[in-house]
């Protein structure tokens, strides 16, 4: 019968008809009369025997017509059948997507620059004082956004007036937001799809007086990298040193709770960790370098602390030398050694002078890890693909 299914289109259609009729009978069993159920089951069973007997195509078509006739006569019609089928297909698709993102791959994005230059978060460039930078036309802007994740926001004052009524972003529809503000008595200005902290990035302040023709908002925004997170692999093994992991902040002190963070795993439970003044990690007395798997790029750093180059890992003493923020209070200098708690990891950002990570908030509970960086699917930059490590 299996061979018949592969070789004969009629057999495949007959098998599918049997399954559809059986499903409908089961759905209506509580409202159908016993005689109706018996008639449909009898016709369906006859079709099954015809398939198994290896009958000719004409015999199959005749028995299929008989099943269709009995089903149409005995089954109760569905009101708005097309709508019901569409709703059912929608919920089936939603269930499959939820199951897939729960157990296999999850979509996420990089919100900050803590993993630069491996992965980029959202970056902003205020163009109000850069008249030499031309904002392209709508068609070019559309192409740049969908290919490179670059978007532009430009608002010019239509009249003299004072900036007022700067409202927070409002959700209009799912995935559609707008943000309004007013200038004097003119109609409100509206910005669609505003990025986070758009107006703060532009220095837009209520009460500031502006003149007609003045650029109020002139901003270039580059979207952060969007990732597929592998949630499958860690069901079978533990994360390894050097892998870029995605984890929840739940239970980590001083962090916004229930957010997704992405960092590089640098130390495992029970290990002793120091950060040398030479900007290298020392794990259980062993100095990590560019030959350590996962750190090939991290330790090929530029001698100057640039956000576009790797800079190793710094303790607070080195960060202070470069005028950095207080990024490593748990690692004052290379003499300080911390032991990772059992059931925890240490995770650090590659942008070591601008990353809040385990040098500050300490251990990451193992159960918070949901997966590892697998694929950059957008935007289409040099980081696109599986090459990120």
**149 pLDDT above the threshold of 60:** yes
For position 81, what pLDDT does the model report?
60
User: What's the CATH code of the domain at 317?
Assistant: 2.10.109.10
Q: What is the pLDDT of residues 287-333, one digit of tens each?
A: 999 999 999 999 987 766 665 689 999 999 999 998 878 899 999 99
> Which of 222, 239, 258 lies at the terminal end of a domain, its last residue?
222
For position 378, what pLDDT does the model report?
93
Q: Is the dihedral of CA 321, 327, 329, 332 positive or negative?
A: negative
Same domain as 52, residue 170 = no
> Which residue would you say has higher pLDDT here, 84 or 381?
381
**94 pLDDT above the threshold of 80:** no
Q: What is the pLDDT of residues 81-92, one digit of tens each?
A: 666 667 767 777
Q: Is residue 107 assigned to a domain?
A: no
> Which of 74, 99, 134 lies at the terminal end of a domain, its last residue?
74
Same domain as 258, residue 312 = yes
For position 78, what pLDDT does the model report?
66
User: What's the CATH code of the domain at 41?
Assistant: 1.20.1270
Q: Do 269 and 343 contact (CB within 8 A), yes or no? A: yes
Same domain as 232, residue 216 = no
Q: Do 274 and 337 contact (CB within 8 A), yes or no? A: yes
Of 100-109, 291-300, 356-365, the least confident: 100-109
Q: Is residue 65 assigned to a domain?
A: yes
> Which of 166, 195, 222 lies at the terminal end of a domain, its last residue?
222
For 178, counting Cβ atoms within 10 Å of its Cβ (0-12 exposed, 13-18 middle, 19+ buried), the class is middle
Q: Is residue 79 assigned to a domain?
A: no
Number of domains within the chain: 3
**How large is the C-alpha radius of gyration of the chain?**
31
Q: What is the pLDDT of residues 20-37, one digit of tens each?
A: 888 888 888 888 888 888
The domain in which residue 296 lies consists of 226-378
Same domain as 232, residue 188 = no
For position 229, what pLDDT does the model report?
94
| CA-closest candidate to residue 179, choices 159, 163, 199 | 199
Same domain as 359, residue 259 = yes
Q: Do 383 and 239 contact (CB within 8 A), yes or no? A: no
Decide: pTM greater than 0.75: no
Q: Is residue 58 assigned to a domain?
A: yes
d(CA 260, CA 250): 9
Same domain as 319, residue 285 = yes
Same domain as 251, residue 373 = yes
Please give the share of the chain, as a percent, with pLDDT higher than 70: 94
Q: What is the pLDDT of residues 236-293, one digit of tens each?
A: 999 999 999 999 999 998 888 888 999 999 999 999 999 999 999 999 999 999 999 9
Same domain as 359, residue 314 = yes
């Amino acid at each position: 019968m299996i061979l018949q299914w592969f070789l004969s289109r009629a057999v495949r259609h007959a098998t599918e008809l049997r399954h559809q009729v059986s499903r409908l009978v089961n759905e209506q069993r509580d409202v159908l009369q016993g005689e109706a159920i018996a008639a449909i089951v009898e016709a369906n069973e006859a079709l099954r025997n015809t398939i198994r007997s290896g009958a000719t195509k004409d015999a199959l078509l005749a028995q299929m017509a008989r099943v269709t006739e009995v089903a149409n006569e005995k089954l109760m019609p569905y009101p708005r059948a097309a709508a019901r089928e569409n709703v059912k297909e929608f919920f089936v698709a939603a269930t499959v997507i939820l199951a897939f993102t729960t157990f296999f791959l999850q979509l996420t994005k990089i919100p900050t620059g803590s993993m630069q230059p491996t992965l980029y978060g959202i970056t902003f460039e205020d163009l109000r004082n850069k008249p030499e930078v031309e904002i392209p036309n709508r068609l070019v802007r559309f192409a740049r956004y969908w290919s490179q994740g670059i978007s532009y926001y430009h608002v010019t004052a239509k009249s003299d007036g004072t900036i007022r009524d700067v409202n927070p972003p409002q959700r209009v529809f799912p995935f559609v937001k707008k943000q309004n503000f007013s200038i004097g008595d003119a109609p409100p200005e509206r910005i669609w799809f505003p990025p986070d902290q758009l107006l703060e990035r532009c220095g837009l302040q209520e009460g500031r007086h502006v003149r007609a023709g003045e650029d109020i908002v002139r901003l270039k925004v580059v979207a952060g990298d969007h990732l597929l997170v592998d949630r499958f692999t860690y069901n079978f093994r533990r994360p390894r040193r050097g892998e870029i992991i995605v984890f929840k902040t739940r239970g980590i002190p001083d962090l916004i709770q229930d957010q997704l963070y992405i960092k590089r795993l640098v130390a495992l439970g029970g290990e002793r960790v120091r950060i040398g003044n030479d900007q290298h990690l020392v794990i259980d007395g062993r100095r990590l370098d560019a030959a350590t798997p996962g750190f090939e790029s991290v330790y090929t750093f530029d001698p100057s602390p640039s956000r576009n180059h790797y800079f190793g890992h710094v303790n607070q003493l080195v960060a202070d030398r470069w005028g950095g923020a207080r990024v490593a209070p748990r690692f004052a200098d290379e003499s300080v050694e911390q032991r990772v708690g059992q059931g925890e990891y240490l995770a650090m950002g590659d942008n070591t002078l601008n990353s809040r990570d385990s040098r500050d908030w300490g251990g990451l509970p193992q159960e918070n890890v949901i997966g590892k960086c697998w694929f950059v699917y957008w935007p289409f930059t040099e980081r696109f693909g599986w090459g990120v490590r």
